[in-house]
Every structure is written in structure tokens, then in C-alpha cells.
Chain A
Amino acid sequence: MPDDNSPAPVPSSPAPPVLSSAQLFGVWLNIGLQSFGGGGATLTLIRRAAVERYRWISEEEFAREWALCLFAPGINLFAITILLGRRIAGVRGILLCLGGMLLPSAAITILLTAFYAQIRDSALVKAALRGVIPASVGLGLLTAYQMAATPVRQSRRDGPGPLALTLFLLLGSAVAVATERVPVLAILGGMGALSALFALVNRHRQAHRKGTPSA
């Protein structure tokens, strides 16, 4: 998003409401309950509560914190919840926010699976599953495409070298795992290290070029 407008002083809107522990827990309970439809819906609900409704954080800071969360291990939505929770009320905030979000969604997941486990051997469910599996494969492929699209586009802008590296990282890891010879973690770590190496070499070369005036 362009940050062209000068930092407009926040219009004199009423001060954000201060919440008790129970209220804070309730806010996140609601987020957990409402977020049907995957992570995108959850992030929207969190942003709306944190930036617009309760103003725990500014729009820009939220974007920065979210970027950090993409670097953290595990579920990014948990990470942003943890950062917001600490910002609101320290360790207590982390527990209340994460617990509130998790309680309904984890409970529903368990109940749904438990119900499913009861009926999973019925002929009807087996027939339905023949359609559900390719449908969720399709959803997964779309997610994979979305995850790859931005870095591929970016590297194409950077030139043929970076584009080739990006495609190699994508295809190479796919081929490596398809052979079933290399442990997955070794593939991920190896590709990360390779990419880090190229980034270092690249930075070195750029610094060198900058140093010589007749580049």
C-alpha cells in the first residue's frame, strides 16, 4: 500500500474501549467462532478488531507485524495473535487472546472429526470422499499457486538469473521429494541454504559494483 499521505493526526474519535480480561477473551472467542472459511476470514476478523474496532495497533504496524509473522515457524495466525496479545496485556494477553481464538475453533475441529470418525466407514461417506479429496487437492493447488505467484513475479522483475533460481527451488524440491530418497526437512533446509547463498553472493556483487564508479 502506498504511504503517500502525510501522517494525518488521528481524527478526534472517541478513545478505544478498554477491555477487562473477560471481555478481551470474549472478543477473541468471537473471532474463533466466526472465522469459517479458512485463514483469510480469520485474518480479516483479527485486523478488523485490532485496527478498527479496538485500535490496539495502527494499520501500518499491523502490516509490519504480519510480515514478521510470515517469518515465524508454525501457523502465522497464531503468531499475529501472540504479538497482539502481548501488546494488549503481556503474557496474560497472549493467553487470553490465543486461548479465546483456539477454544471454539479447536473444539469444533475435534467434534467434527469425532463425528466424521463415526461415519467414515459408511458407503455414503466413502462415495462423498471420492469427491472431497480431489476438491481439497484443488484448494491446495490454488494455495500453492498463490504462495508461489508473488516470488515468481518478483524474481521475473529481477532478471533471468533470479527467475531461474526461483524456478529451480520450486521444481528441484518437487523432484527431490518425488524420488522419495531425500528427507523432506533436508530438502527444505538445503533449498533455504542455497537461496541464502545466492542472496549473499548477489549482495556482495552489488556492493562491489557500487564501489567501482564505471559500472
Chain B
Amino acid sequence: MNPSDPPNPWTFFLLALKASLFSTGGMGNVPSLHGDLIGRGWATEREFAESLAVGQISPGPNGLWVVGLGYLLDGLRGALLALLAICLPPLLVLAVEHFYRRVENHPAVVGFVSGLSLAVVGVFVIVLWKLLQGNGLDPFSVSMVAVSILLAATRRVPVAAVVGFGALAGIVADLVRR
């Protein structure tokens, strides 16, 4: 994969802000950023996959994956801009709490949010599919997906260990192939 072009810092910040503002949860912003950054040639599938993996390994919310992406695309400046962009939208929870009592249980609000969260899942699955495609759709990849799902579903294996297992399996598979 070719290296991506360096992003315009201000636009990158605004895109990250927009993605977080119109989504909820740490991963909700993946689809929007994926579309915007790859469309502009500012990021590659590989960089997305890498920063998502960093987000899984590093402590704290997985949503910090954006900080890793910012670093890969634009160094420390990118990382700090990304951090700022993901810190601002959650402040709106103060407004949410303030207005909650008025619109509490309003069917339109409840309906909108549940529809939004379902759509995020649908879009997210396609993004994951594209990441996998970029990696090559061979038996090894597909079985690694299955194994990591099984390992994580037991809830006994830490997420970082699942990612570490993937790294080890990749190295072993490479040695075997030679």
C-alpha cells in the first residue's frame, strides 16, 4: 500500500470532530472518518487497521484509537489534534443531562437514538469487511477472525492478548510460508 498524503491539520481536526460529534461510543466515529480520510487519500486501510489495533492494546477507552491514527498521519500534531477532537463532543453530555428531563422518553428521541445506533453497527461491519479485504481474504485471515472472536467471547482472555496472539500467528504463518 502506498503511504498516504499528509492531511491538512485543520481539516483533519474538523473531520475528526464531525465524526465524533455525530456518533456515539469510541468506535462510532470509525465509518465517518474512514470514508472522509480514505476518500481524500490522507489515510490507507492499513493505517486504519494499525491504529484500531493500537487503540485495542493501549489503556483507557478504545476510542483513543483516533489518537494513534492522528500520530500515524501527522505525527505529534496529528495526535494532539485528534485528542482535542474526541474530548470536545462528550462535553455535550452536560447539555444532554440538562435537557433530559424535558425530552425524557419522548418517542422520537428514543427512536432516533436506537435507529442511529443500529445504523452505526451496520456501517461498522462493512468497514471491518474492507479492512479484512485489504489484508487479503485467505484461509489464514478468515480463521484468525474466527479464533479472535472465540477467544474474546470467552471473556477470559484480555483484548491485548488476543491482538498479541494475532501478531504471533502472523509471524509463524510467515515463517511457515518460506
Residues on A lying within 8 angstroms of B by beta carbon are 32-39, 42, 65, 68-80, 82-83, 86, 98, 101-102, 104-106, 108-110, 112-114, 116-117, 120, 123-124, 127-144, 147-148, 151, 166, 169-174, 177-178, 183-185, 187-200, 202-203
Say yes or no: B56 contacts A151, CB within 8 Å: no
Q: Give Cα A11 to B174, complex, Å.
A: 61
A35 and B61 alpha carbons, distance in the complex (Å):
8
Interface residues of B, dominant DSSP? helix
The tally of CB-CB contacts under 8 A between chains A and B is 359
A141 in contact with B64 (CB, 8 Å): no
With A131-B166, A137-B49 known, 14 other A-B pairs at CB within 8 A are: A39-B62, A42-B60, A68-B97, A78-B90, A82-B94, A109-B58, A134-B145, A138-B145, A142-B152, A183-B35, A185-B32, A188-B123, A196-B111, A196-B115
Residue contact A134 to B144, C-beta cutoff 8 Å: yes
**Most B-side CB within 10 Å, residue of A73, A124, A147:** A73
Instruction: Give 11 A-B contacts (CB < 8 Å), ordered by A residue.
Output: A36-B58, A77-B26, A77-B60, A78-B86, A113-B67, A128-B168, A134-B148, A137-B145, A170-B119, A177-B123, A185-B18
- For the residues of A in contact with B, the DSSP-based class is helix
Set of chain B residues within 8 Å of A177, measured between Cβ atoms: 31, 35, 122-123, 126-127
CA–CA, A144 and B173, complex, Å:
28
Q: Is B4 an interface residue (CB 8 A)?
A: no
The contact of B53 among A68, A104, A136, A198, by CB within 8 Å, is: A136
B79 touching A169 by the CB < 8 A rule? no
User: B170 at interface (Cβ–Cβ under 8 A)?
Assistant: yes
Closest CB in chain B relative to A87 CB, distance in Å: 10
Alpha-carbon gap, A109 to B70, bound state (A): 11
Binary interface encoding of chain B residues 148-170 relative to chain A, with 1 for a CB under 8 A from any of its CBs, else 0? 11001100001110110111111
CB distance from A146 to the nearest CB of B (A): 9
Cβ-defined contact, A166 with B50, below 8 A: no
Q: How far is the CA of A174 from the CA of B119 in the complex (A)?
A: 8
Q: Which one of A98, A135, A141 contacts B166 once the chains associate, using CB atoms below 8 Å?
A: A135
Alpha-carbon distance A75/B53, docked complex (angstroms): 17
Q: Which residue of A lies closest to B118 (CB)?
A: A169
Q: Which residues of chain B have C-beta atoms less than 8 A from A120's C-beta? A: 50
Q: Is the CB of A72 within 8 A of B90?
A: yes
Pick the contact of B162 from A139, A148, A151, A190 — CB < 8 Å? A139
A82 engages B170 (CB within 8 Å): no
Assess the A74–B20 pair: CB atoms within 8 A: yes
Contact for B68 among A39, A112, A187, CB less than 8 A? A112
Contacting pair B58 A105 (CB below 8 A): yes
Q: Note all chain B residues with C-beta closer than 8 A to A203.
A: 107
CB contact between B24 and one of A76, A130, A134, A193 (< 8 Å): that residue: A76
Residues of chain B with a CB closer than 8 A to A187's CB: 119, 123
Q: Which of the four size classes fits the interface of chain B?
A: 35 or more
A130 surroundings in chain B (CB, below 8 A): 135-136, 140-141, 170, 173-174
Which residue of A73, A137, A191 is within 8 Å of B92 (Cβ)?
A: A73
Question: Contacts of B26 on A, CB cut-off 8 Å?
Answer: 39, 75-77
Pair A200/B111 contact, Cβ less than 8 Å: yes
In the complex, residue of chain A having the shortest beta-carbon distance to the beta carbon of B109: A196
How far is A73 from B92 in the complex, measured between Cα atoms in Å? 7
Taking the complex as formed, is B25 at the interface, i.e. its CB lies under 8 A from any CB of chain A?
yes
Alpha-carbon separation in the docked complex, A178 to B122 (Å): 10
Residue in chain B with minimal CB distance to A43: B61
Q: A68-B97, A78-B87 known; A192 and B58 CB under 8 Å?
A: no
Q: Which residues of B contact A65 (CB under 8 A)?
A: 97
Q: Are A193 and B90 in contact (CB under 8 A)?
A: no
